[in-house]
Amino acid sequence: MCVHDWTIATLQHDQATTKAQYWYAFDCVGALAEEEDWDSLASVGLSDLAAHARRLEHVYRNHSKAIGHAIPSRTNRTESIAKLLHQQVQLAAAEKMYVRAREGYEATVGPEHPSSLNAVCGLGILYQAQGNLAKAEEMLLQARKGYETAVGPEHTSTLSTVCGLGILYQAQGNLAKAEEMYMLARKGYEAAVGPEHTSTLDTVCCLGILYQAQGNLAKAEEMYMLARKGYETAVGPEHTSTLSTIGNLGNLYRAQGNLAKAEEMYMRARKGYEAAVGPEHTSTLMTLYNLGILYQAQGNLTKAVEMYVRALQGYKFAEGNHEARITFLEKQMATLGTTNSETDPDYRHVSERLSISRPEPPRITSVPRCGGANSQNKAKEPHVDHRKRDILSRMFKR
């Protein structure tokens, strides 16, 4: 039985013991989350740790009076747990942790401190993932203004928020404003950390997506190829950033009508994502979704249905802004099922395979790194006995 179950089991018996147990578990989970960088937090190997983190939020929500508030030095770990939950697509729990982190930072170092602004930025990205674009813009603009005052307009924390605003404006359909933000962020990153840094490459990739949306496929390909080459050098060919760019190249080749090349990219991205973040992660599901569209364009309807079914089943239970994709997939499945049910036995049980009740979903997207490329805005952390951490490491071993 994990330490979180132990905490719940004793809640009604000994509040003093319960409080100690909760914060013991909190420190262990938080310390392990802190050891990972932003991208690594999405790893399928951390799914068990994320489950424990989600349990921490659940226990606190139901027993906050017995547990009490975190001491100021634990605020960093609250933010680390929020980031873990965010990257593991546990958005509702992540929001609660971000709010707790923001409140903790504002109480100890003030609302204008970079640590407080990091939490505000994280909330902005999270709200965008949930589809609340107005709230996301409010948070990101607040973070940008605060960063510009606290650390300057050229600091990587400011630039990260500028890039986040670019993603937001593109989601709103304001492509001109998005391009302005991306170009500003790219120029700043190149001066601050160099053209080969992953933060710079993130912005280059965003520009590729923008140019493709504008119909400038040649410019989009140039950006994607530049980003892919840079990612492969900086973080390796199997990193999720590299895989994301490969998937974007697949979209580009499909738009150009080069379906064979698109399939090659999608298959490579799918294989990489399944190994890196697992078959149920939204990045993997997006690749299946794209493969379904590709196979349908090729006339391989049996294969298209297989991809659509897997993607739809995953999206129905994934947290994130997937309503448009779910609607598209359901329409495609209805069309394909009606058209082909009499001629192809693979379609006979499509309706049964899709009869999964779906709760109202929250929402997700890929995000920039709040706090910048080289953020060092951490306060002093509480001590954790390394023997205890070793025990938790074995419990969460992947």
pTM over 0.85: no
Structural domain boundaries, residue 45: 1-103
User: What is the average pLDDT across 8-12?
Assistant: 47
Do 43 and 115 share a structural domain? no
Q: Is residue 140 part of a domain?
A: yes
Do 162 and 92 share a structural domain? no
Do 78 and 156 share a structural domain? no
Q: Is residue 317 part of a domain?
A: no
pLDDT digits (tens, 9 = 90+) for 258-277: 999 999 999 999 999 999 98
Q: Is residue 126 part of a domain?
A: yes
- Judged against a pLDDT cut of 70, whether residue 194 lies above it is answered with yes
pLDDT digits (tens, 9 = 90+) for 227-249: 999 999 999 999 999 999 999 99
Q: Is residue 251 part of a domain?
A: no
pLDDT digits (tens, 9 = 90+) for 214-226: 999 999 999 999 9
Q: Is residue 354 part of a domain?
A: no
Do 59 and 97 share a structural domain? yes
- Judged against a pLDDT cut of 90, whether residue 252 lies above it is answered with yes
Do 198 and 162 share a structural domain? yes
- Judged against a pLDDT cut of 60, whether residue 338 lies above it is answered with no
Do 81 and 163 share a structural domain? no
Domain boundary among 211, 234, 257: 234
- Judged against a pLDDT cut of 70, whether residue 371 lies above it is answered with no
Do 122 and 88 share a structural domain? no
Band the pLDDT of 387: cuts 50, 70, 90.
Answer: very low
Q: How many domains in the chain? A: 2
pLDDT digits (tens, 9 = 90+) for 145-156: 999 999 999 999
Do 113 and 228 share a structural domain? yes
Do 80 and 156 share a structural domain? no
Highest averaged pLDDT of the listed ranges 30-34, 200-204, 350-354 = 200-204
Band the pLDDT of 361: cuts 50, 70, 90.
Answer: very low
User: What is the average pLDDT across 180-206?
Assistant: 96
Do 95 and 138 share a structural domain? no
- Judged against a pLDDT cut of 90, whether residue 48 lies above it is answered with no
Choice between 336 and 152, residue whose per-residue pLDDT is larger: 152
Domain boundary among 103, 137, 164: 103
Q: Is residue 253 part of a domain?
A: no
Q: Is residue 147 part of a domain?
A: yes
Do 138 and 78 share a structural domain? no
Do 135 and 93 share a structural domain? no
Domain boundary among 72, 103, 134: 103
* The pLDDT of residue 16: 53
SS (H, E, C) the chain: CCHHHHHHHCCCCCHHHHHHHHHHHHHHHHHHHHCCCCHHHHCHHHHHHHHHHHHHHHHHHHHHHHHCCCCHHHHHHHHHHHHHHHHCCCHHHHHHHHHHHHHHHHHHCCCCCHHHHHHHHHHHHHHHHCCCHHHHHHHHHHHHHHHHHHCCCCCHHHHHHHHHHHHHHHHCCCHHHHHHHHHHHHHHHHHHCCCCCHHHHHHHHHHHHHHHHCCCHHHHHHHHHHHHHHHHHHCCCCCHHHHHHHHHHHHHHHHHCCHHHHHHHHHHHHHHHHHHCCCCCHHHHHHHHHHHHHHHHHCCHHHHHHHHHHHHHHHHHCCCCCHHHHHHHHHHHHHHHHHHCCCCHHHCCHHHHCCCCCCCCCCCCCCCCCCCCCCCCCCCCCCCCHHHHHHHHHHCCC
* CATH code: domain of residue 141: 1.25.40.10
Q: Is residue 162 part of a domain?
A: yes
